[in-house]
Amino acid sequence: MTSLNQFLTAYDEQLRTDAETPGAIAVERLGPLRLVTFAGGRGFVTYQDLDGASAQRITQWVVEALAVYRKDPAIVRVEWKTRGHDHAPGLHDALLRNGFEPDETESIMIGEATALNVDVQLPPGVSLHRVTEEQDIRAMSAMQDNVFGEPVSDDNAEGLLRRVEHDDGMELWVAVYQGRIISAGRLEPVAETEFAGIWGGATVEGWRGQGIYRAVTAARARSALKMGKTLIHSDSTAYSRPILERSGLVRVSTTTPYRWRR
């Protein structure tokens, strides 16, 4: 059985690389930082570690990274992804001073893909599908935006459509009732690693607590295993974490996104 420390080491070594940002349209380096640009005016800052940097140096990186994005008028929002197990003196205060706001802290969950590959009885009339057509992808994206309390974004849907067109390995899975998408999630196989990620899990209010999210997750796990992926990772909210824990995934650390908007 793999230990928590082994899971965390695999996460840091295999996932905190370019493998973390499939679909990026540009990546610029600033010291240990990777300054990523995605379609739709979204910037994303991540790194494997901060090389033992001092608070003064980290503050300088925050200022310089934000300056890079400020120079590009197409960038309207930036996410700086932090991890709870990193040594990052002064980072929180530096981000706040430069206009970033912390979002909800999530749990980094990792476990064996086989643990999620279970049979789940769906409510009558509910079925699971993998979607690839534009109409279905737009409907799925709009549902997720609504569930997460965000305005419905054409940019999010367009980003998914571009990735499906380029066939980069991502899969989109949904649960449907009477033609309406009521739950959905993304599978992200990570090339040249043991991992596949499960992301964007969302279920419409009124359909929660009936095993539907778990069934969508099981479908993604089965697909990951067919690709030869043995480990599953996910950043989980307080709602989804217990479901994944019951399936055998463990919390190896936390992650907190800090967000800046132009």
- 205-258 pLDDT tens trace: 999 999 999 999 999 999 999 999 999 999 998 888 888 898 889 999 999 999
More confident site: 171 or 238: 171
Residue 73's Cβ-count burial label (10 Å; 0-12, 13-18, 19+) is: exposed
In three-state form (DSSP H/G/I as H, E/B as E, the rest C), the secondary structure along the chain is CCCHHHHHHHHHHHHCCHHHCCCCCEEEEECCEEEEEECCCEEEEECCCCCCCCHHHHHHHHHHHHHHHHCCCCCCEEEEEEECCCCCCCHHHHHHHCCCEECCCEEEEEEEHHHHCCCCCCCCCEEEEEECCHHHHHHHHHHHHHHCCCCCCHHHHHHHHHHHHHCCCCEEEEEEECCEEEEEEEEEECCCCCEEEEEEEEECCCCCCCCHHHHHHHHHHHHHHHCCCCEEEEEECCCCHHHHHHCCCEEEEEEEEEEEEC
56 and 185 belong to one structural domain: no
Q: What is the pLDDT of residue 238?
A: 85
Question: At which of 38, 73, 107 does a domain end?
Answer: 107
CB atoms within 10 A of CB 56: 10
213 within domain boundaries:
yes
- Say if 240 falls within a structural domain: yes
pLDDT tens sequence across 61-91: 999 999 999 999 999 999 999 999 999 999 9
The reply to whether 122 and 210 lie within a common domain is yes
The verdict on 177 and 123 lying in the same domain is yes
% of residues, the chain, pLDDT over 70: 99
Residues 183, 127, 150: CA angle, nearest 5 degrees: 15
pLDDT band at 1 (very low <50, low <70, confident <90, very high): low
Query: Looking at the domain assignment, is residue 244 inside a domain?
Result: yes
pLDDT at 155: 83
Q: Which tokens in the block code for residue 59?
A: 């503050």
Residue 98 domain flag: yes
Residue type for position 59 = T
Mean of the pLDDT values across residues 99-103?
97
Look up the CATH number of the domain holding residue 182.
3.40.630.30
Distant-in-sequence, close-in-space partners of 64: CB < 8 Å, separation ≥ 6: 30
Which of 107, 132, 161 is the last residue before a domain boundary?
Answer: 107
Torsion angle defined by CA atoms of residues 46, 12, 252 and 215, in that order, rounded to the nearest 10 degrees: 80
Residues 185 and 250 grouped into a single domain: yes
- Number of independent structural domains in the chain: 2
Which pLDDT score, from 0 to 100, does residue 39 have? Answer: 83
The confidence band for 23, taking pLDDT boundaries of 50, 70 and 90, is confident
Q: Domain holding 47: CATH number? A: 3.40.630
Average pLDDT score, the chain: 94
Which pLDDT belongs to residue 107?
A: 96
260, part of any domain: no
> Domain for residue 261, yes or no?
no
Residue 2 pLDDT > 80, yes or no?
no
Do both 190 and 131 map to the same domain? yes
Look at residue 123 in the predicted model and tell me its pLDDT: 96
pLDDT in tens, 115-169: 999 999 999 999 999 999 999 999 999 999 999 888 888 888 988 998 899 888 9
Picking from 107, 122, 155, the residue at the C-terminal end of a domain is 107
Q: Which domain holds residue 95?
A: 4-107
**Burial of residue 191, with CB atoms counted within 10 A of its CB: 0-12 exposed, 13-18 middle, 19 or more buried:** exposed
Task: Clarify whether residues 228 and 193 are in a common domain.
Answer: yes
Q: For residues 121 and 43, state if they share a domain.
A: no
Structural domain includes residue 262? no
Rg (CA), the chain: 18
